Structure 1
């Protein structure tokens, strides 16, 4: 079998890997749940390549992510649920339907108007799916929730934001970011109370810290900031500064374990004055 630019070749390769007799001993025993973590990991690797501006890596990582779609579609086809072709049909139908200003007679004079079309049609599709599930006996109307379509597999911060945004569509939300700041202060106070107890309960501390993180995610949403991106930036910043500490100590023949906290703190302050290295331009090696 030879490589090809044709998607059909990738589908053939996956079918061969999943063949019960001649397939790969690892691939043929996988299922949706066992493959899902790899799907999430590949999506992160795509995002990482974009963040680094590395188009060489992006080409490869997009292929890895496409493989995940083909993998899930193949497993679904094996149980008679749907095929890769039906996945493509579903998304092309959705994109055409949600862009009546491009593929139909509607007119959108701004990005806001285009988004309005998208949201309105998406809401109608959601109602249609819910009705279809009810008819199939898969959904109890009494238990249906506005939050049902918030994926459990999202990152925790992203899921917090989406849950909050969903609730906000029916008015369950703060109107002022400063009110969220007050909530953050309240949650910090509750953590302090738990830590001040004679017998500290790890479970209660965990619960209160979860409330604090949820409130911080809410503040990010109100400030129109992606909390995952914000934390990713801070993680990178911490890494740069700590590596500076390691580098400066290594020049003296020492490691951080051999330095005092005061010494490391001084080097940390020094690192804050160092400009970050520029990100690699897209398309450069």
Structure 2
């Protein structure tokens, strides 16, 4: 990553690469470095990866809101805010002993990852006609890349909101044959047919829970943990079945 830390010792007050070919992205990278350099912003200099987590979460949700609103100006702004978080973490790492990577390392890693995940595009030995074809072998590729993961649940961020976490775990559960259907709803109405109906149903459930002094977020997390237990039990049974099917030594 470009580094303009020398500018602070020469009295410069504005950041930015001097090359005429510099892009707006180059200038933003330099701005982050300038703010975090000695003589720059004290707040920026004090931050750590951990202290920045709350801002990354907030900016991500604001980006989601901009996407859902369909407002172009807000989308540009919020994408920029999320990008700034990435550049901030990279600059911090570039100047933290033991981390020693920068935004170029991040970009190089991501390019390599995307090429390896798309062998159907970059001259590999696979073909994909549909999005489902791609998803099916992505799981295989990820399994090869991360052999330490022994469960379909490994890698799911535990800090996700309960509803997003539930949707993620449900998708993983289906991969091992564990399914939750509308039949599991005790004396429930017909399942919602549209997202509008679903939204109103969920809102009504949360309102009912609130009226009874129940915590909807915590309740859903408990239910998701129960589902995760079912998934791990199914995986154990599959493993045991595979062992029993092996020919004797």
In the alignment, the residues of structure 1 paired with residue 83 and residue 154 of structure 2 have an alpha-carbon distance, to the nearest angstrom, of: 26
Match of 1:125 in 2: 145
Unmatched tracts of structure 2, length 5 or more: 1-13, 17-21, 190-204, 227-249
CA RMSD of aligned residues (A): 3.5
Q: Deviations over 1:90-109 (max 9, x none)?
A: 11111111111111242112
Paired with 2:217 and 2:128, the residues of 1 have a C-alpha distance of: 44
Residue among 178, 183, 204 paired with 1:178: 183
CA offsets per residue over residues 59-88 of structure 1, 9 Å max, x none? Answer: 111111110000111112222422111111
Residue aligning to 2:167: 161
The question of whether the paired residues in 2 share the 8 Å contact of 1:157 and 1:214 is answered with: no
Q: Structure 1 or 2: larger helix share?
A: 1
After superposition, the Cα gap between the structure-2 partners of 1:107 and 1:161, relative to the gap in structure 1 and judged at 3 Å, is: same
Give secondary structure in 2 for the equivalent of 1:100: coil
* Closer/same/farther in 2, CA of residues 85 and 69 from structure 1, 3 Å limit: same
2:113 corresponds to 1:94: yes
What does residue 73 of structure 1 align with? 90
* 1: CA distance, partners of 2:68 / 2:79: 14
Where structure 1 has 5 or more consecutive residues not aligned to the other structure, the ranges are: 132-143, 196-201, 219-285
Q: TM-score, normalised by structure 2?
A: 0.63
The alpha carbon displacement at 1:169 in A equals 3.0
- Please give the residue correspondences for 1:196-235 in structure 2 after superposition, counting only pairs within 5 Å: 206=215, 210-212=218-220, 215=223
* TM-score (normalizing by structure 1): 0.56
- Find the aligned partners of 1:183 and 1:97 in 2 and give their Cα distance: 48
